[in-house]
Amino acid sequence: MSDSDGKPQKGSAAPDGEPVYADRVYRSVPGVISGVLLLAVAAWLIGDAALNGTGKTPYVSLAAVPVFAFPVIAYTLRPAVLANDRRLVVRNPWRTITAPWAAVDALRAGYSVELLADGRKFQVWAVPVSLRQRKRANRAALRGGAEHSSRLGTVFGRGTMPAVPEVLGSSDPTRAWSDQVTGVLQEMAERNAGRPDAAGSVVVRWCWWVIVPTLVGLAALITVITV
Which one is predicted more confidently, 135 or 155?
135
Q: What is the pLDDT of residue 10?
A: 44
Look at residue 179 in the predicted model and tell me its pLDDT.
93
What residues contact 55, with CB distance under 8 A and at least 6 apart? none
pLDDT attached to residue 4: 47
pLDDT tens-place string over residues 66-122: 999 999 999 999 999 999 999 999 999 999 999 999 999 999 999 999 999 999 999
- List, for residues 25-80, the tens digit of each pLDDT value: 999 999 999 999 999 999 999 999 999 999 999 999 999 999 999 999 999 999 99
- Taking the CA atoms of the chain, what radius of gyration do you get in angstroms? 23
Specify the amino acid at residue 90. Answer: V
Domain boundaries, the chain: 2-130+177-226, 131-175
Residue 194: partners with Cβ closer than 8 Å, 6 or more residues away: 102
Q: Pick the range with the lowest mean pLDDT from 22-26, 58-62, 204-208, 219-223.
A: 22-26
Cβ atoms within 10 Å of 62's Cβ, excluding its own? 18
Q: What is the pLDDT of residue 39?
A: 97
Residue 7: its pLDDT value, please? 43
Distance (Å, whole) CA 3 – CA 81: 10
Residue 136 pLDDT greater than 80, yes or no = yes
Residue 220 pLDDT greater than 60, yes or no: yes
The predicted structure's pLDDT at residue 150 = 45
pLDDT given at position 167:
31
Give the number of C-alpha atoms closer than 13 A to the C-alpha of residue 85, restricted to the C-beta side.
19
Say what the pLDDT of residue 20 is.
54
pLDDT digit string (tens) for 178-201?
999 999 999 999 999 999 999 999
CB 82 within 8 A of CB 97: no
Q: Which of 92, 93, 78, 105 is nearest to 201 (CA)?
A: 105
Query: pTM, whole model, 2 decimals?
Result: 0.77
Q: Which H, E and C letters describe 159-224, residue by residue?
A: CCCCCCCCCCCCCCCCCCHHHHHHHHHHHHHHHHCCCHHHCCCCEEEECHHHHHHHHHHHHHHHHH
User: Residue 33 in contact with residue 61, Cβ under 8 Å?
Assistant: no
Of the CA atoms within 13 Å of residue 66, those in its CB half-sphere come to: 16
**DSSP characters for 109-152?**
ESSSEEEEETTEEEE-TTS---HHHHHHHHHHHHHHHHHHHHTT
Range name among 39-43, 139-143, 218-222 with the lowest pLDDT average: 139-143
DSSP symbol at 55: T
Q: What is the DSSP letter of 22?
A: P
pLDDT at 34: 97
Question: Band of the pLDDT at 133, cuts 50, 70, 90?
Answer: confident
Query: Count of residues for the chain?
Result: 227
pLDDT at 19: 52
pLDDT band at residue 147 under the 50/70/90 scheme = low
